[in-house]
Amino acid sequence: RENFESGAQQWTPTDPNAWRVIEQDGSKVYSLHRQSKYKPTHRSPFNYSLLNDTWTGDFDLYARVITTQRDYGHRSMCLFFGWQDPEHFYYVHLGQKTDDHANQIFIVNDAPRIKISTRTTSGTPWDTEWHTVKIKRRVASGLIEVYWDNMEDPIMIAEDKTFVWGKVGLGAFDDTGNWDDIQLYGVEIKRPE
């Protein structure tokens, strides 16, 4: 459980200068406040911060998020999981309008990101309010489900068994926003050698 009241020492960003802990609505939040000076090897998000020293298999990840980005079609925030290194991970793109590169579940497998979602919505309804998101991951079946505010009905679904362990993280492709109240429940594993 992370609420950032004591800082963000448990997190490692792609660019430390792009992230800071600020106060918003009487609470400390983890703010992605500008573009990261980070260039991924393959086409994938620039802005993310990973939870240190925690490797998971099956998990449920909850977070509260608010975008600080102006309104446009690809306005978005992202959650990362199964992260093994900068060339091997999954991410969820919560984009305002859906297309093959937005509002999908993606895999980065030593190549530019590829959409793996089998179900999504027409878009994520961003506004100026906080929202609760959840990722449910079950590695044996490959299940990936993404929830938005309603924790009963997933807005995105995928099945993939490529990465059965990894780190989790927060961020955006190339937008800005704030995160709070991170809760991770699941099976912590030792990183395979």
pTM for the whole thing? Answer: 0.94
Total structural domains within the chain: 1
Asked if residue 66 has pLDDT above 80, the reply is yes
In a domain? residue 69: yes
d(CA 128, CA 96): 13
Look at residue 185 in the predicted model and tell me its pLDDT: 97
In a domain? residue 4: no
Asked if residue 180 has pLDDT above 90, the reply is yes
In a domain? residue 72: yes
| HSE of 161, CA atoms in CB hemisphere, 13 A | 4
d(CA 113, CA 193): 25
Report helix, strand or coil for 16: helix
In a domain? residue 193: no
- For range 72-87, the mean pLDDT: 90
Range of the domain at 45: 11-187
Q: Which pLDDT tens digit goes with each residue over 7-65?
A: 999 999 999 999 999 999 899 999 999 888 888 788 788 799 999 989 999 999 999 99
**CATH number of residue 130's parent domain:** 2.60.120.200
Look at residue 18 in the predicted model and tell me its pLDDT: 95
In a domain? residue 2: no
- For range 158-168, the mean pLDDT: 98
Classify the phi-psi angles of 149: left when phi > 0, otherwise alpha if psi is within -120 to 50, otherwise beta: left
Look at residue 190 in the predicted model and tell me its pLDDT: 85
In a domain? residue 154: yes
- Contact 105/117 with Cβ under 8 angstroms? yes
Q: Which pLDDT tens digit goes with each residue over 101-159?
A: 999 999 999 999 999 999 999 999 999 999 999 999 999 999 999 999 999 999 999 99
Asked if residue 73 has pLDDT above 90, the reply is no
